[in-house]
């Protein structure tokens, strides 16, 4: 998570923020602008969200340094629809598989800019607005708000006009610079894509331009997008203004830096080799600006695989929010960016436990890392450590009881104090719900499931110890976690059984596997009657 600097901890966001401040100072800008951007191409998976969330942490670092800063987002909605995903999130962030009829309708819009494609879900004005709204909604649920700029609006309103004119006026230079980074830059290529007046596609080819009348003549020839998506043209020839089309991506990105006076922008490793290299040269040689401070991040894997909506393993923030608290999600994005992260959804409790320890280390003091990062995650630091219950324990308890009853079982078990405040209560209830969702959505069903039916466990060599344990447990007035834990230990010791083997046997009885959440608490939460009955039944089986 840290950048080591002579033994002192430096949060990566602070390092980028410092470069951004320096960038703004050199260029006499009074405000520091952090930008991220993206195409509203469908559901933006949590790997892609590195863009926006890392940008937020840079922005947050700037404000903590007392610098005037803003966090902006360009919704690149003039980009063409190049392929139709099999499924996409609806307005509430729930995945929907497109019907054959919807697919047929969308097929007609291949090559159209997202901002002009009707919203299949019918809740927004366009495809672009719909998917951008899902992105913004997911972010706002974890407390991130950005200033949004739709590219369609920026072109139509003339915000990009000056940059577009500048680009076209330097067409020869643009070709020369780009040809250093890309093969096949044609010698008569014009860096502008008008929207076809006949078929609506933005995959047209500019034939000539006239800066006096601000028009571009084009032919709708179609294009191969991203090297593999073939979009056919209708052959129409016509004229377009500079407000009815877009700059090619590599140029548009740099033009945005100029127009919005961008000082820092994070981007994925894929851009690092490609558009970032050409972008730096275009910035200096064509647009006369210095490229912003950058942050390159690595991708996320989920369960060890690359995410793809085609494979059905792409998850958006809304999916994560069903199983994780917003602070745990944000914590994930504070980790060192240049390392590939695997999000192990099957064992998600490990991530939550890591966060709980991190939070605890903040309140204990002494961790430079936690002292710097925790406040950025939670925004307003609470006066005292929020009460947490182990996610894994929650996941077991919720299998036994409805939410409210599960909460009461934790109070009975002594995990939660009777007088817990309303905020703590709400937080624990939420974790119980999240852990329950995790079980049904992601957890390995054979693993973290409380065995309702009796599990056959070989008690050879353990029988006497088990008998005494049942007696002691039956005699308890109060069935509390800490006490049960101690009784298990002392019983094992009395019988000279290694405590690890004794615990393993007991786990086998209740979870069907050799481990689980802290056993005393689990048994306490399951309740005396259940625990004693099960152990007695087991002892009676021959």
Site residues (CB under 5 A) for Zn ion? Answer: 91, 119, 121, 123-124, 130, 196, 198-199, 220, 234, 236
Instruction: Decide if 213 contacts 225 (C-beta within 8 A).
Output: no
Smallest distance, Zn ion to C-beta of residue 80, A? 12
DSSP 515: -
DSSP 445: T
Smallest distance, Zn ion to C-beta of residue 296, A? 32
Smallest distance, Zn ion to C-beta of residue 318, A? 14
Residue ranges with strand state E in 226-289: 229-232, 237-241, 245-246, 264-268
What would the two tokens of residue 273 be?
């080799």
Sign of CA pseudo-dihedral 468, 474, 477, 479: positive
Rounded CA separation 326/321 (Å): 7
Nearer to Zn ion, 132 or 263 (CB): 132
Smallest distance, Zn ion to C-beta of residue 206, A? 13
Smallest distance, Zn ion to C-beta of residue 15, A? 38
Nearer to Zn ion, 35 or 130 (CB): 130
Smallest distance, Zn ion to C-beta of residue 134, A? 8
Nearer to Zn ion, 123 or 230 (CB): 123
Nearer to Zn ion, 204 or 491 (CB): 204
- Which residues face 9 on adjacent strands? 4
Nearer to Zn ion, 42 or 266 (CB): 42
How much is the CA Rg of the chain, to the nearest whole Å?
29
With a CB cutoff of 8 Å and minimum separation 6, the contacts of 249 are: 79, 275
Instruction: Decide if 31 contacts 68 (C-beta within 8 A).
Output: yes
Instruction: Decide if 328 contacts 150 (C-beta within 8 A).
Output: no
Rounded CA separation 217/80 (Å): 19
Nearer to Zn ion, 118 or 386 (CB): 118
Smallest distance, Zn ion to C-beta of residue 106, A? 14
Nearer to Zn ion, 195 or 522 (CB): 195
Nearer to Zn ion, 131 or 249 (CB): 131
DSSP 178: H
Determine how many CB atoms are found less than 10 A away from the CB of residue 256: 22
Smallest distance, Zn ion to C-beta of residue 119, A? 4
Secondary structure element (H or E) that encloses residue 151, with its range: helix 151-156
Q: How far apart are the first and last CA of the chain?
A: 54
Rounded CA separation 192/73 (Å): 22
Smallest distance, Zn ion to C-beta of residue 138, A? 14
Instruction: Decide if 228 contacts 83 (C-beta within 8 A).
Output: no
Nearer to Zn ion, 248 or 268 (CB): 248
Instruction: Decide if 318 contacts 293 (C-beta within 8 A).
Output: no
Smallest distance, Zn ion to C-beta of residue 227, A? 22
Rounded CA separation 503/437 (Å): 28
DSSP 246: E
Look at residue 388 and give its three-state secondary structure. Answer: coil
Smallest distance, Zn ion to C-beta of residue 115, A? 13
Nearer to Zn ion, 123 or 211 (CB): 123
Nearer to Zn ion, 45 or 130 (CB): 130
Ranges of H-type helices in 333-402: 348-364, 368-378, 391-400
């Amino acid at each position: 998570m840290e950048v080591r600097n002579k033994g002192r901890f430096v949060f990566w966001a602070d390092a980028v923020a410092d470069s951004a401040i320096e960038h703004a100072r050199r260029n006499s800008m009074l405000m520091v602008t952090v930008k991220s951007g993206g195409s509203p191409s469908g559901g933006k998976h949590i790997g892609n969200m590195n863009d926006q969330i890392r940008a937020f942490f840079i922005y947050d670092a700037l404000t903590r340094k007392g610098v005037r800063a803003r966090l902006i987002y360009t919704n690149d909605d003039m980009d063409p629809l190049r392929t139709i995903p099999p499924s996409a999130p609806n307005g509430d962030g729930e995945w929907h598989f497109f019907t054959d009829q919807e697919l047929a309708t969308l097929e007609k819009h291949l090559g159209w800019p997202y901002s002009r494609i009707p919203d299949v879900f019918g809740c927004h004005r366009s495809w672009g607005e719909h998917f951008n709204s899902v992105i913004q909604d997911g972010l706002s649920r974890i407390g991130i708000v950005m200033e949004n700029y739709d590219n369609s609006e920026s072109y139509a309103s003339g915000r990009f006009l000056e940059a577009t004119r500048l680009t076209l006026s330097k067409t020869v230079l643009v070709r020369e610079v780009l040809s250093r980074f890309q093969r096949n830059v044609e010698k008569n290529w014009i860096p502008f894509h008008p929207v076809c007046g006949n078929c609506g596609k933005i995959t047209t080819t500019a034939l000539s331009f006239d800066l006096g009348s601000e028009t571009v003549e084009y032919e709708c020839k179609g294009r191969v997008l991203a090297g593999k998506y073939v979009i056919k043209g209708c052959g129409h020839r016509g004229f377009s203004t500079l407000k009815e089309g877009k700059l090619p991506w590599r140029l548009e990105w740099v033009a945005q830096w100029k127009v919005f006076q961008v000082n820092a922008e994070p981007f994925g490793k894929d851009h690092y080799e490609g558009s970032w290299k050409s972008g730096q040269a275009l910035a200096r040689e064509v647009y006369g600006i210095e490229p912003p401070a950058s942050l390159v991040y690595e991708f996320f894997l989920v369960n060890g695989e690359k995410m793809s909506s085609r494979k059905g393993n792409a998850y958006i923030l809304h999916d994560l929010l069903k199983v994780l608290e917003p602070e745990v999600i944000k914590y994930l994005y504070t980790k060192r960016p240049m390392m590939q992260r695997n999000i192990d959804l099957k064992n998600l409790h490990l991530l939550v436990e890591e966060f709980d320890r991190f939070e605890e280390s903040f309140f204990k003091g002494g961790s430079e890392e936690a002292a710097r990062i925790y406040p950025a995650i939670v925004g307003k630091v609470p006066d005292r450590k929020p009460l947490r219950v182990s996610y894994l324990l929650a996941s077991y308890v919720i299998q036994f009881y409805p939410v409210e009853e599960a909460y009461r079982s934790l109070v009975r078990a002594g995990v939660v104090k009777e007088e817990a405040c309303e905020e703590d209560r709400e937080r624990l209830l939420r974790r119980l719900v999240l852990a329950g969702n995790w079980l049904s959505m992601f957890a390995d069903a054979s693993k973290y499931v409380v065995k309702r039916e009796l599990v056959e466990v070989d008690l050879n060599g353990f029988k006497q110890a088990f008998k005494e344990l049942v007696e002691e447990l039956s005699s308890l007035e109060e069935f509390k976690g800490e006490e049960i834990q101690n009784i298990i230990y002392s019983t094992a010791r009395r019988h000279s059984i290694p405590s690890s083997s004794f615990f393993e046997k007991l786990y086998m009885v209740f979870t069907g596997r050799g481990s689980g959440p802290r056993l005393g608490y689990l048994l306490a939460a399951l309740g005396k009657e259940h625990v004693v009955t099960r152990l007695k039944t087991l002892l009676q089986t021959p």
